[in-house]
Amino acid sequence: MKSRQHVPLVWLLLSWAWSPLPLLSASDEEQGASSIIFTTLGRPDYAFDIYSLPIPHTPNSQELQLTDGHSVNFNGQFAPSSPSLLLPTDQPPPLQLVYVTERNNGLHTIFYDALYTQQQTPSSRRSILESQTITKRIQLPLLPNHDQNHNNVSMKDRPTLTGEYLIYVSTHENPSLPRVSWAAVYSTHLKSGNTRRLTPYGVADFSPAVSPSGDFTAVASYGESGWSGEVEDLTTDIYVFLTRDGTQRVKVVEHGGWPTWVDDRTIYFHRRGDDQWWSVFRAILPDGKGSISVDTVRVERVTPPSLHAFTPATSPGNHEFIAVATRRPGSTYRHIELFNLVTSEFTELTRLVSPNSHHLNPFLSPGSTRVGYHKCRGEPNSNESPQLLFENVKSPVPGLSLFRSPGSFPVFSPSGDRIAYVDMPGIYVVNSDGSNLRKVSDLMTFSTAWDPVRPGIIYTALGTGFSSESTHIDIISVNVDKNSNNIKRLTLGGSNNAFPSVSPDGKWIVFRSARSGYKNLYVMDAAEGESNGLRRLTEGPWTDTMCNWSPDGEWIAFASDRHSPGSGSFELYLIHPNGTGLRKLIQSGSLGRTNHPYFSPDGKRIAFTSDFAGISAEPISNPHQYQPYGEIFTIGLDGSGLTRLIHNSYEDGTPAWSAKYLKPVSIERPKGGPYCDFVDLHWLNNMPNGTGSVVSNAQCGL
């Protein structure tokens, strides 16, 4: 081992360079290879890159794009410029960036980029703008795909380089408890690859921050109280422990998140204050040893009411200013500003550069000369990744391909050659190779199913989702191969008829209807609708919904709150089409939410959406997500073999499963935008004192 110390780390890392994932073997295809398509709210439009602005900011300074426009890059930190661990020392110190990227099939990986920049003053007399360009980029994956991790698909978040270690969040370990987050903080020694878990088992930690000395790490944690189901203000507590091994863990702040250190005694963090404004606070830990607790830590409010200020960023030793993200009354955009700790004045940065973009999660360079953040890059340049129609996502199950749909409620045609999806308002149909994308209807619809027998017929619900029992919603059929006269109304009564699913012989549709005053399941004639035959399948003062007919015709799976009507908690149930055999498929934990069941092609498993894995990151660090806990799982019909398919901090939902095996590669979207079409958190629109701004949301009703 001794001789290794003389090998520059950069070479060790390069020798670990990203190995391509093994090709699918023939045996994988034989054992029932198949494909699942699902929706991730907002994510197809994020196209995040990391940018930076110089401090102080002058009208002449320009925004520099730090990451390379491939995939989605976010949650960066500058690495300290101290004697470089990773690079040859005979060159001027570059900007060193550590960040999360999803470039490997949507799998989260942590990258390190060293950026050599040059100031350029254009000779054009018209322009007085100075711009900086990147002249050289050295790029390394920091967590190589070790064999033992090969199948452990996980979310990674908030990386920090400290000495020879990388500190980060990962969701690769399953706590095997319903509604307990898989997010935990790990430390990986970069030379050896040895990884140590710093978070105790049974606890979830988010947003780790390492102190300037490297000795301490602060995290936002659920602590012992667990997750309440809350998604706006997580009400995490801040804990501090030794970065070395996670020991001496102590709670320092009750109710706080997103910690960041100025020195080894001073932490800035955010919380929603008693006056309802999100604000930055400061926690000062006592001097001396062994006496740190919530009672000995002094907490002071830093940013004033009248605007939301959150996700603070500090720089070691800088007691003069911090960087924050803000939401100001009258604006729907999230911007980065500096806050002067002496004068209590804000200095706007990003609003002056790109007023109509969201800028997230600022971070400061070690000398406070730069602020970094991420935002959507807009229309891609020629050397950047194109927008995707179907994004392949790395699957933890051999032989199962996973694709992210461009819209909601995607469904496969019986052969798997076509996909229909909803992008409200409008129904789209596209070949599964991405060709022949067309809009087949302008109607506002949601839950959709494809007829297994009649060619080109899909069923959908005309209206908006999440509506009351009395809302007029009807199930219609649409012939996607006809341009006109292609719509037929199948239900007659209005009163919230939705979630159609067809029996494998094409004779019957099971759907939910609120015609009795409660949403229960009914079965009707598929070709002619309820005028030609209607039967009630379930009955009771609760909600039965999101039904799916098994490929062998024997079972209907559905979501219901019958165990606790009106509580918001949904669990999955199975019933025979003749109304016998009712049983619960999965216990989603106290008040858990488990929805959108969909049978596998062999009928042996069910894919579904659930909050079984809790929250994976502080929701305020993302754009709007209704249900950021939504992840996709599968389970056997006997309730065994629960498997998590997707790991991220977004809302994933509405899986559909096809026997057609689609090669795990992404498919480009036709050019022309829209680009960056997403909105900030709806709940940040609530400005205390009634100064709320306008809600705009293009993708409601999932």
Residue 466 backbone class (left: φ over 0; alpha: ψ -120 to 50; beta: rest)? left
Is residue 535 a contact residue for ligand NAG (CB under 6 A)? no
Contact of 341 with 321, CB cutoff 8 Å:
yes
Contact of 284 with 265, CB cutoff 8 Å:
yes
Query: Binders of ligand NAG among 672-701, rule CB under 6 A?
Result: 688-689
Amino acid at 283: A
In order of 30, 33, 391, 549, the CA distances from 661 in angstroms are 10, 6, 15, 21
Residues forming a β-bridge with 500 = none
With respect to ligand NAG, which residue has the nearer C-beta, 28 or 130? 28
Task: Out of 173, 264, 348, 423, point to the residue binding ligand NAG (CB under 6 A).
Answer: 173
Neighbours of 689 (CB within 10 A): 11
Exposed / middle / buried, residue 680 (Cβ in 10 Å: 0-12, 13-18, 19+): buried
With respect to ligand NAG, which residue has the nearer C-beta, 223 or 305? 305
Is residue 172 a contact residue for ligand NAG (CB under 6 A)? yes
Distance in Å, CB of 593 to ligand NAG, minimum: 24
With respect to ligand NAG, which residue has the nearer C-beta, 62 or 689? 689
Distance in Å, CB of 687 to ligand NAG, minimum: 10
At 493, give phi and psi (nearest 5°): -100, 5
Distance in Å, CB of 275 to ligand NAG, minimum: 4
Is residue 305 a contact residue for ligand NAG (CB under 6 A)? yes
With respect to ligand NAG, which residue has the nearer C-beta, 284 or 397? 397
Question: Tokens 């390379």 correspond to what residue?
Answer: 68
- Give the DSSP H/E element, type plus range, for residue 26: helix 26-30
End-to-end Cα, the chain, rounded Å: 55
Task: Out of 3, 468, 580, 640, point to the residue binding ligand NAG (CB under 6 A).
Answer: 580
With respect to ligand NAG, which residue has the nearer C-beta, 117 or 152? 152
With respect to ligand NAG, which residue has the nearer C-beta, 415 or 578? 578
Distance in Å, CB of 580 to ligand NAG, minimum: 5
At 95, give phi and psi (nearest 5°): -75, 130
Interatomic CA distance for residues 280 and 324, integer angstroms: 8
Distance in Å, CB of 494 to ligand NAG, minimum: 31
Distance in Å, CB of 189 to ligand NAG, minimum: 14
Closest CA to 459 of 519, 548, 575: 548
Query: Binders of ligand NAG among 274-303, rule CB under 6 A?
Result: 275, 277
Distance in Å, CB of 322 to ligand NAG, minimum: 20
With respect to ligand NAG, which residue has the nearer C-beta, 195 or 447? 195
Given the rule CB under 6 A, which of 76-84, 352-360, 472-480, 576-584 is the region that contacts ligand NAG?
576-584
With respect to ligand NAG, which residue has the nearer C-beta, 364 or 687? 687
Task: Out of 576, 584, 660, 682, point to the residue binding ligand NAG (CB under 6 A).
Answer: 576
Distance in Å, CB of 36 to ligand NAG, minimum: 19
3-class DSSP state for residue 469?
coil
- Binding pattern for the stretch 256-275 against ligand NAG, x by CB under 6 A and - elsewhere: -------------------x
Query: Binders of ligand NAG among 145-164, rule CB under 6 A?
Result: 148-149, 152
Question: Tokens 């100001």 correspond to what residue?
Answer: 328
Tokens of 469: 């029992």
With respect to ligand NAG, which residue has the nearer C-beta, 59 or 690? 690
Task: Out of 131, 351, 554, 564, point to the residue binding ligand NAG (CB under 6 A).
Answer: 554
Task: Out of 381, 578, 590, 697, point to the residue binding ligand NAG (CB under 6 A).
Answer: 578
Given the rule CB under 6 A, which of 216-224, 293-301, 387-395, 572-580 is the region that contacts ligand NAG?
572-580
Neighbours of 525 (CB within 10 A): 16
Residue whose beta carbon is closest to ligand NAG: 305
Interatomic CA distance for residues 352 and 61, integer angstroms: 11
Residues 6 or more apart in contact with residue 191 via CB below 8 angstroms:
4, 9, 12, 164
Distance in Å, CB of 570 to ligand NAG, minimum: 24
Question: Tokens 């935990």 correspond to what residue?
Answer: 184
Contact of 501 with 549, CB cutoff 8 Å:
yes
Closest CA to 530 of 555, 578, 493, 479: 493
Distance in Å, CB of 276 to ligand NAG, minimum: 7
Beta strands in 45-194 (DSSP E): 48-54, 64-65, 73-78, 95-104, 107-120, 131-141, 156-162, 165-170, 184-189
Tokens of 356: 């109509």
Given the rule CB under 6 A, which of 45-53, 105-113, 118-126, 575-583 is the region that contacts ligand NAG?
575-583
With respect to ligand NAG, which residue has the nearer C-beta, 164 or 275? 275
List contacts with ligand NAG (CB under 6 A): 148-149, 152, 172-173, 275, 277, 305, 554, 576, 578, 580, 688-689
